[in-house]
Structure 1
Amino acid sequence: MSGGPGGLTVDGEALSRGRLESLVRDVTGELRGTGAGPGRGVALLDTHPLSLIITVLAAERLGAPLLPGAPEWRTPAVTRAVVATVHPSGSGRPAVTAAAPGPQPPFPDETRAVFWTSGSTGEPKAVALDGGALDYQAGATRARLELEPGDRLLVPIPLNHAYGFSVLQMWARYGLDLHVQSRPGLGPVVMALKATPFASLDGVPSLYGALLLAARRDPELRAALAGPKVRGCGGDLLPHRLAEDFLSAVGGPLHDGYGLTEAGPNVALTGPSHWRPGTVGPPLDGTRLRLDEQTGEVLVHGPGLMAGYLDDPDATARAVTGGWLRTGDLGRLSPDGYLTVLGRLKSAIVVHGVTYPPKLVEDALYDCEGVAEAVAVGIPSGDPRGDSVAAFVLVDPSATAPTEDTLLAAVRGSLPEPLRPASIRLMDALPRTASGKADRRALRELASEAPAGVSGG
């Protein structure tokens, strides 16, 4: 069932259907004047959610490829025709500028969106998605989350990243009411939750951690968090202690999910009827999963996969073999198809030839008093044993601060000897990638530079 866009509210201000249609019609005309259309792309330089929404709807009417990850589109990875850019303006609507014509050939006609990978494991790559993949993602995700026309969605995450964009695609097709929150901080999210009942809330683990702390002191917020039928969580591994504490305090679970840009992005989601603790649910209907028998890497097959890395056939061939996408993630599948994600394959800790996911160390640390976030990395030890383990802990300011010695003693009994950290550093802040994940590469470099046993902020 498809009914077009529902209501739209941005940072607490509702936009009428008539006003939205007027803005989209104007921008569509301006983009058409630049030559935007199939094969001729539009780069979005304005990250304000209203500008993005207007530009998305306009580009879809023209069949033009949209590059929401700008300004990355300026990199040499884009070798196709970008004929228009969309900039912020003081008028409250996007400003369209024709791009200088160049010799680049058009995008493939079926290309509808180009996103960039986070670059956390190497150079960012341009991922091309076609219209069929976007349609599939919108339909399969809405079905898994059991959302119906008129349901209100609270989205305090960027819409120009692949997951936020998929939520926007659902809104554009299925008559959902979209409430976008782009103002920084926890306060606006709390105010929105208290003011309006929502069917769905989306966030990263750190947002839910902050909401949990606030809800313990605020019964009204606790009741508001119990209301949505979906509390979608993604963007990073969900710590098991946060999931358990949230369920205990709020009375409703966090619905963990898994995906990656190359998969369109959603692969597996725990909707209201598919929640199981410790898993990200089964794959979306129409998507298949299997594990590499040798490495345990998660492989994905389905209609949501990318068309390929833009003008990089070698990288595409390495990523997709026989229709199966190599995700680079370690996982475990239950007999009935529920997936547990254990972390990045490149982040695995290898000791005596055995591969361990860092999540085992991180979960043990999360169980310790005073730990708000934990990250473990493997460091080459220079001997046949393999990696040594270094851990970094973000201290919970509301709890008694632990010491390295107390943490080492606490995890000694719960971890096998090869995974016991050689060092733990207490941190006031962790280095982050552009998507907000802990930057494991930077932490590995930091651990390699510091003598073992150092702890500090």
Structure 2
Amino acid sequence: MQLSVATILQDSAARHPDRTAIVEDGVRISYRTLWHEVLGFAAELQDRGIGPGDRVAVLLPNTADFPRAYYAVAAVGATVVPVHALLVADEIAYVLRHSSCRALVSGGPLYPVAESAAAAVGIEVIGVSTGREPLARPAPRGADDTAVILYTSGTTGRPKGALLTHLNLVMNSAVCAQDLLGLTPDDVVLGCLPLFHSFGQSCAMNSALRAGATLVLAPRFTGPGVLELLIAEGVTVFMGVPTMYHALVEAAVHDPRRPAALRIAVSGGAALPGALLERFETTFDTVILEGYGLTETSPAATFNHRDRRRPGTVGHPVWGVEAGIADADTDRRIVLVEDGEVGEVVLRGHNIFAGYLDDPEATAAALVDGWFRTGDLGTRDADGFLTIVDRKKDLIIRGGFNVYPREVEEVLARHPAIAQVSVIGLPDEARGEEICAAVVLRPGVAPTPEEIVAWSRERLGRHKYPRVVRMLTELPLGPSGKILKRELQEVCA
């Protein structure tokens, strides 16, 4: 079966040529123009000898050049390798070398580091140009061909390249656009998530363009700046990670205006504290639908729907996907456990990646008995709602008792003086690990660490409450807004 990610944009350009596809810094680009520019850049790539089976890296900020490059690479039949925008030259060179890229597409403020990395590997850097005679049509690709190689964050060693097929990504964009969000050409989606990341790339960019909606790009996220965009552009759908929701709520404290068109908000990437969900929904008079997924799941795997919603959970599996809870201590085969028990979340369906590039051992460990082992601990209730308890690797074992950081964070997030909190385990000779809460305080309040410990002790079991509290001015964040717990442990040690 033939299928290409390029058809996501091609189809919408045919159906809605005059509608606005992209808004960047106030400039509006129609579907007709964007597709014409994509095919023009595809012709440039083809003239440079790039075609089916080749791999092309893309290192670009959240500008219109990203979709131009992304769909142009797909249109010539090559594989897109999006590059993390915060990597240094040596780290970029590793990705280029490991993926055997033929070229690197870059521009703007990222061009110098791209040039340095490409020189180290001996490949060329190509700027996005659209002036050539457009390619007549996209190159045909098979549904199981690799469309994109997304590199994991590398928190447990060197990043691994997850192989996502055209079927993975086309299906995920369709499911997100139609089943989960009900997107129409009248919707305006805010794209402030990094487009090199699976959440921003698949759920925001691909889904919006699949539906013929408008994608508003925000190259840099700030609470006040994005609040302004929500209002000025009439955004109807906002997608973000918890730290973005926190920033928007704080921005709204100083700005009485509210986005009138916002009909839905989507949270993913990390657990959203219940207190923050309630505060955002009250402030912006809308609902947050929480979902769950990973790079290896294209990424949408489970989701809350308006008519089937349970805050604090990540909902039910998306259409065509099955979720289960497996015995977390059994690695070589999948043994499903009963509803209500804690185990490892496992998934199977059209969204599961094809494996890790040139890493059969890691692939075999992740794909077992037809299931993908996520590395996340979770439970499923009698109604089928899935709750993520924590990452297996983040589990704290204090004095022989299992402590899930998310449970402690949920309680601490309701402290009136705490704006943000992350809980980690620190090495302890007597108990193996001790519970540490890293907190960012709200302006104008100054409780002592001892006062926070005492408050926690009244609300958490004796084995759960933090004995160590570290006051920070900010939490270390990755480019997608996730809290970097490994860095946090170094800061708090």
Fold shared per TM-score above 0.5? yes
Q: CA deviation at 1:388?
A: 1.6
For 1:416, the aligned partner's letter is G
2:79 & 2:169 partners in 1: Cα distance? 12
1:34-433 equivalent positions in 2, closer than 5 A: 34-69=48-83, 74-75=93-94, 78-88=97-107, 110-142=145-177, 143-166=179-202, 167-221=204-258, 223-224=259-260, 227-294=261-328, 296-383=343-430, 385-397=431-443, 399-433=444-478
Deviation sequence 1:57-95 (CA, Å, 0-9, x none):
2122222100112675531685454222212169x9xx9
Greater displacement, 325-334 / 11-20: 11-20
Relative distance call for 1:231 and 1:447 in structure 2 (3 A) is same
Residue ranges of structure 2 left out of the alignment (5+ in a row): 1-6, 14-18, 125-140, 330-342
Relative distance call for 1:320 and 1:239 in structure 2 (3 A) is same
Kept in 2, the 8 Å contact 1:146–1:272? The answer is: no
In structure 1, what is the equivalent of residue 481 of structure 2?
436
Q: CA deviation at 1:120?
A: 2.8
Indicate the RMSD between aligned Cα atoms, in angstroms.
2.8
Residue ranges of structure 1 left out of the alignment (5+ in a row): 449-457
Question: Would you say 1:33 and 2:67 are equivalent positions?
Answer: no
Relative distance call for 1:56 and 1:357 in structure 2 (3 A) is same
Kept in 1, the 8 Å contact 2:229–2:235? The answer is: no
* Count of residues in Structure 1 that have an aligned counterpart in Structure 2: 436
Deviation sequence 1:215-273 (CA, Å, 0-9, x none):
3454421x53xx42320112221011101222233332222221110111111122333
For 2:241, the aligned partner's letter is V
Partner secondary structure for residue 75 of structure 1:
helix
Kept in 2, the 8 Å contact 1:67–1:73? The answer is: no
Deviation sequence 1:126-161 (CA, Å, 0-9, x none):
111010101111111112111123321112121111
Deviation sequence 1:300-351 (CA, Å, 0-9, x none):
1111111111110101111111121111111121222211112211010113
TM-score (norm 2): 0.81
2:181 & 2:401 partners in 1: Cα distance? 37
Partner secondary structure for residue 377 of structure 2:
strand
Deviation sequence 1:413-435 (CA, Å, 0-9, x none):
11111112121011112233444
1:368 & 1:197 partners in 2: Cα distance? 34
Kept in 2, the 8 Å contact 1:34–1:83? The answer is: no
Greater displacement, 45-54 / 277-286: 45-54
Kept in 2, the 8 Å contact 1:118–1:435? The answer is: no
Deviation sequence 1:370-422 (CA, Å, 0-9, x none):
11111111233234x4422111111122x412211111111111111111212
Kept in 1, the 8 Å contact 2:326–2:345? The answer is: yes
1:272 & 1:386 partners in 2: Cα distance? 43
2:424 & 2:400 partners in 1: Cα distance? 16
2:436 & 2:153 partners in 1: Cα distance? 24
Partner secondary structure for residue 273 of structure 1:
coil
1:318 & 1:110 partners in 2: Cα distance? 22
2:404 & 2:458 partners in 1: Cα distance? 18
For 2:285, the aligned partner's letter is G
1:77 & 1:45 partners in 2: Cα distance? 11
TM-score (norm 1): 0.87
Kept in 2, the 8 Å contact 1:330–1:357? The answer is: no
Kept in 2, the 8 Å contact 1:44–1:67? The answer is: yes
How many percent identity over aligned positions? 33
Kept in 1, the 8 Å contact 2:425–2:433? The answer is: yes
1:100 & 1:379 partners in 2: Cα distance? 43
Question: Would you say 1:4 and 2:12 are equivalent positions?
Answer: yes
Relative distance call for 1:196 and 1:101 in structure 2 (3 A) is closer
Kept in 2, the 8 Å contact 1:41–1:65? The answer is: yes
